[in-house]
């Protein structure tokens, strides 16, 4: 990985308003459904990157991070020391030695070639009644140069993701769009992008003051998501549960 890109990835994952907001939103939703005083879930976080979501997952149990990039794997080892298990592997090549209670894919599923097969593998790795949690980019009409730079294969609708999860023997616990407030602006940028030269990733911002404001607006969606689903957004959140009576293992 290029040194500049490597440093930017780490900086963004810790300090950027989008990553910070996603952490707040995901933590609040998961806490509503999964949190108890004695949580001891076995968790596999796939495509952990610089570990931006691991601090959230640690609230719910013991985390195993699966990350294909060797440099980021090394960074995770330094960052978390012995607090988590770490495997330098793609998900396709990962051979689990245990069954998990939770498997997480935070903006990872859209990068993989055959998502139907991936979801079936996830199901096979979960204990009976285990949970799959993911975030993915929403709506194919928002496809733009940002997706190409990020090496996305697809974007999702609520209906399409639900259908694929049900085919892999999951029932939906909660599914909602998010990044709702910025949808009009980001949608306009993405649509204009089709007629303009390729840009850098469109969530880059300047000073910390603007970053803080954007974070507070984005994170405030967690207050609405506590009570209701959002009708549209730039991204999708889903929490699904493996259906016990369909377990084929």
**In the β-sheet with 85-87, what is the strand arrangement from edge to edge?**
85-87, 61-66, 41-46, 100-106, 126-137, 235-242, 170-178
Lookup: tokens for 178: 């998010």
Q: How many of the other CB atoms lie within 10 Å of CB of 56?
A: 20
Q: What is the pLDDT of residue 205?
A: 57
pLDDT tens by residue, 194-219: 776 555 555 555 568 899 999 999 99
Mean pLDDT of 83-111: 96
Buried b (16+ CB within 10 A) or exposed e, 144-158: bbbbeeeebebbbbb
Which region, left, alpha or beta, applies to residue 241 given φ > 0 means left and ψ of -120 to 50 means alpha? beta
Q: What is the pLDDT of residue 244?
A: 74
Q: What is the pLDDT of residue 247?
A: 47
Mean pLDDT of 231-249: 84
Strand-strand pairing, 41-46 and 85-87: unpaired
Percent of the chain's residues with pLDDT above 90 = 76
Lookup: tokens for 19: 């990553």
pTM of the model as a whole:
0.91
* CATH code, 3-246: 3.40.50.150
């Amino acid at each position: 990985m290029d040194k500049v890109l490597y440093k930017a990835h780490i900086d963004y994952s810790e300090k950027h308003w989008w990553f910070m907001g996603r952490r707040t939103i995901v933590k609040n939703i998961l806490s509503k459904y999964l949190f108890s005083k004695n949580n001891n879930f076995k968790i596999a976080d796939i495509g952990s990157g610089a570990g931006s979501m691991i601090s959230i997952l640690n609230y719910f149990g013991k985390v195993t991070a699966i990350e294909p990039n060797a440099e980021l794997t090394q960074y995770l080892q330094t960052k978390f020391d012995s607090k988590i298990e770490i495997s330098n592997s793609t998900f396709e090549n990962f051979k689990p030695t245990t069954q998990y209670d939770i498997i997480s894919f935070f903006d990872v599923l859209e990068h993989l070639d055959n998502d139907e097969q991936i979801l079936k593998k996830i199901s096979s790795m979960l204990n009976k009644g285990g949970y799959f949690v993911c975030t993915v980019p929403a709506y194919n009409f928002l496809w733009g140069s940002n997706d190409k730079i990020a090496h996305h294969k697809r974007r999702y609708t609520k209906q399409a993701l639900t259908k694929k999860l049900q085919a892999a023997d999951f029932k939906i616990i909660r599914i909602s769009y998010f990044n709702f407030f910025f949808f009009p602006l980001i949608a306009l940028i993405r649509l204009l992008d089709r007629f303009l030269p390729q840009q850098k990733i469109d969530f880059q911002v300047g000073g910390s003051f603007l970053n803080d404001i954007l974070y507070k607006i984005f994170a405030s969606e967690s207050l609405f998501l506590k009570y209701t689903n959002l009708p549209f957004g730039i991204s999708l959140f889903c929490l699904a549960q493996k259906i016990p009576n369909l377990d084929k293992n």
